[in-house]
């Protein structure tokens, strides 16, 4: 999908598309394009979208406070607020906070699970725990989310300390984009992993947003 | 700190300067320099245990503190750990020969369904550095693997690690099985991993949650000390 949104901006700063909707989606920046695509596809004009910087994915301990801050900031302006995050490494803290704030969130452990479909992901998890997952966004932002935070740009010799126990890279494709598939294959090569592309579409993200 | 290092000849430093330089080299993750430093100290008749605790653990303690304070990040800690591993590799057989003091014994492993071992490996290394005997079960351990190892090794401590919110509940499966078999109180159970927290540790019935390797060592020492005191009284 072509989008005017800059991925680096989504990673570092987040994104705002607010204007008159009665519901607000507070999302991870890594889901911005996907949520906008779903909005357009389904004519969900009642939804506004604000995204927190996607790079919080690398610092999950910061997610809960950032979400809380965004909820408190927008609460008085919307009838309903929905949190487009799963647990995302917060160890249940985000769920507890959402309950406290009276807002709903996406079910499941992380985006890899809800893109695959939580039930299906849980089913395959036992046989696929040596898989490293990338989504469309993470393929595009591979340097920012994998290479740089892990220091592999400066110290490629660390690769096997991080990835030695992994066997394959699964590219969960939200869209059909041959360029992204090519890039995902290169990501797998860089990490020394075999490659599998799996088209997931928007999975349970679409199901969750339908309720908003 | 690295610009001037090209000119430093480790063997020309006195003991105190050399240990200080080894702290810097560990901080910078310079494995070959650490190995050289260890060999020089051995030639100078340092006891292997002293090299381990004063030079290597001392240096890693600084690395650990700076990691906790957000000055160093995971890649730098891994490089430092790799350098320390180089030194440990030389010292380990010598430690066994020279009868270094043993603080206690730990069986440690990453839980079933989880292949992440960076944190666990750091804990293992720092525990060994602190004088614990460590039996590392590796990754993806089902409850039977833990139980067999506990039976065979008779450790003081069981350590469990998990990086995923989906795998961390498995720690409770292991602890519940120990309870069912009446063995829970035979071991100190320590848990750790990025998504865990103190409440989770309490909720599953662990003795303590350890947020990093340095805390794991301190907690282990404290609990083993307490256990020995209880046995003595």
| Residue pLDDT, tens place only, A166-207 | 999 999 999 999 999 999 999 999 999 999 999 999 999 999
Checking if the pLDDT of B40 tops 90, the result is yes
Checking if the pLDDT of B121 tops 50, the result is yes
Classify burial at B12, counting beta carbons within 10 Å of its beta carbon; exposed 0-12, middle 13-18, buried 19 or more: exposed
Instruction: Read off the pLDDT of each residue in B121-127 and give the average, rounded to a whole number.
Output: 93
**Per the CB < 8 Å rule, is A158 touching B79?**
yes
| Residue pLDDT, tens place only, A120-158 | 999 998 889 999 999 999 999 999 999 999 999 999 999
Instruction: Read off the pLDDT of each residue in B112-136 and give the average, rounded to a whole number.
Output: 93
Q: How confident is the model at residue B130 (pLDDT cuts 50, 70, 90)?
A: confident
- Say what the pLDDT of residue B3 is: 52
Instruction: Read off the pLDDT of each residue in B192-198 and give the average, rounded to a whole number.
Output: 92
Checking if the pLDDT of B2 tops 60, the result is no
- Say what the pLDDT of residue B5 is: 52
- Say what the pLDDT of residue B59 is: 94
Q: What is the mean pLDDT of chain B?
A: 93
Q: Which runs of consecutive H residues, i.e. helices, occur in B98-197?
A: 118-129, 143-153, 170-180
Q: How confident is the model at residue A16 (pLDDT cuts 50, 70, 90)?
A: confident
Nearest beta carbon to residue B196 from set A91, A154, A166: A91
3-state secondary structure of A16: strand
Checking if the pLDDT of A51 tops 60, the result is yes
3-state secondary structure of B129: helix
- Say what the pLDDT of residue A18 is: 76
Nearest beta carbon to residue B114 from set A129, A149, A154: A129
Checking if the pLDDT of B27 tops 90, the result is yes
- Closest by CA to A115, choosing from A173, A159, A155, is A173
- Say what the pLDDT of residue B99 is: 77
Chain B, nearest residue to A118 by Cα: B166
Collect all residues of chain B within an 8 Å Cβ-Cβ radius of residue A90. Answer: 165, 195
| ipTM of predicted complex | 0.83
Instruction: Read off the pLDDT of each residue in A28-51 and give the average, rounded to a whole number.
Output: 96
| Residue pLDDT, tens place only, B146-170 | 999 999 999 999 999 999 988 999 9
- Say what the pLDDT of residue A4 is: 64
Q: How confident is the model at residue A101 (pLDDT cuts 50, 70, 90)?
A: very high
Distances (CA, A) of A135 to A57, A120, A185, B77, B209: 13, 16, 12, 28, 32
A interface test, pick of B72, B80, B115, B194 with most A CB neighbours within 10 Å: B115
Q: How confident is the model at residue B7 (pLDDT cuts 50, 70, 90)?
A: confident
- Say what the pLDDT of residue B15 is: 97
Stated pTM of the model: 0.87
B interface test, pick of A63, A131, A158 with most B CB neighbours within 10 Å: A158
**Per the CB < 8 Å rule, is B118 touching A161?**
yes
Tokens of B72: 């160093």
Residues of B56-94 as b/e, b for ≥16 C-beta within 10 angstroms? bbbbbbebbebbeeeebebbbbbbbbbbbebbbeebeeb
Q: Which runs of consecutive H residues, i.e. helices, occur in chain B?
A: 15-27, 31-43, 48-50, 58-68, 74-97, 118-129, 143-153, 170-180, 198-204, 213-232
- Say what the pLDDT of residue B94 is: 93
């Amino acid at each position: 999908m072509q989008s005017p949104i800059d991925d680096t901006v989504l990673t570092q700063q987040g994104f705002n598309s607010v204007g008159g909707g009665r519901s607000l989606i507070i999302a991870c920046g890594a889901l911005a394009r996907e949520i906008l695509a779903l909005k357009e596809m389904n004519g969900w004009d009642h939804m506004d979208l604000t995204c927190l910087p996607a790079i919080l994915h690398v610092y999950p301990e910061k997610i809960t406070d950032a979400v809380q801050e965004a909820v408190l900031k927008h609460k008085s302006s919307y009838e309903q607020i929905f949190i487009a995050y799963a647990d995302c490494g917060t160890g249940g803290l985000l769920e507890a906070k959402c309950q406290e704030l009276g807002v709903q969130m996406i079910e499941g452990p992380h985006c890899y699970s809800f893109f695959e479909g939580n039930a299906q992901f849980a089913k395959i998890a036992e046989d696929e725990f040596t898989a490293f997952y990338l989504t469309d966004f993470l393929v595009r932002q591979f340097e920012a989310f994998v290479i740089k935070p892990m220091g592999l740009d400066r110290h490629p010799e660390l690769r096997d300390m991080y990835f030695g126990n992994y066997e394959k890279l699964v590219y969960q494709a939200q869209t059909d984009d041959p360029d992204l598939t090519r890039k995902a294959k290169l990501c797998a090569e860089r990490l020394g992993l075999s490659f599998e592309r799996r088209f997931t579409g928007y999975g349970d993200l679409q199901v969750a947003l339908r309720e908003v | 700190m690295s610009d001037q290092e090209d000119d430093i000849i480790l063997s020309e430093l006195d003991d105190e300067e050399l240990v200080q330089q080894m702290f810097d080299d560990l901080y910078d993750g310079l494995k070959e320099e650490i190995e050289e430093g260890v060999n020089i100290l051995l030639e100078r008749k340092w006891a292997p245990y002293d090299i381990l605790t004063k030079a290597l653990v001392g240096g890693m303690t600084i690395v650990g503190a700076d990691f906790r304070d957000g000055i160093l990040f995971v890649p730098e800690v891994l490089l430092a750990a790799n350098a320390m591993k180089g030194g440990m590799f030389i010292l380990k057989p010598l430690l066994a020969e020279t009868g270094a003091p043993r603080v206690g014994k730990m069986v440690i492993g990453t839980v079933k369904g989880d292949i992440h071992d960076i944190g666990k490996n750091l804990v293992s290394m720092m525990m060994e550095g602190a004088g614990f005997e460590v039996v590392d079960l590796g990754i993806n351990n089902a409850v039977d693997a833990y139980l067999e190892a506990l039976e065979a090794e008779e450790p003081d401590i069981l350590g469990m690690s998990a990086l995923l919110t989906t795998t961390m509940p498995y720690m409770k499966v292991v602890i519940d099985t120990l309870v069912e078999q009446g063995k829970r109180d035979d071991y100190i159970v320590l848990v750790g991993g990025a998504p865990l927290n103190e409440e989770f540790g309490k909720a599953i019935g662990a003795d303590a949650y350890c947020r990093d390797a340095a805390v794991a060592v301190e907690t282990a020492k404290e609990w083993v000390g307490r256990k020995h005191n209880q046995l003595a009284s």
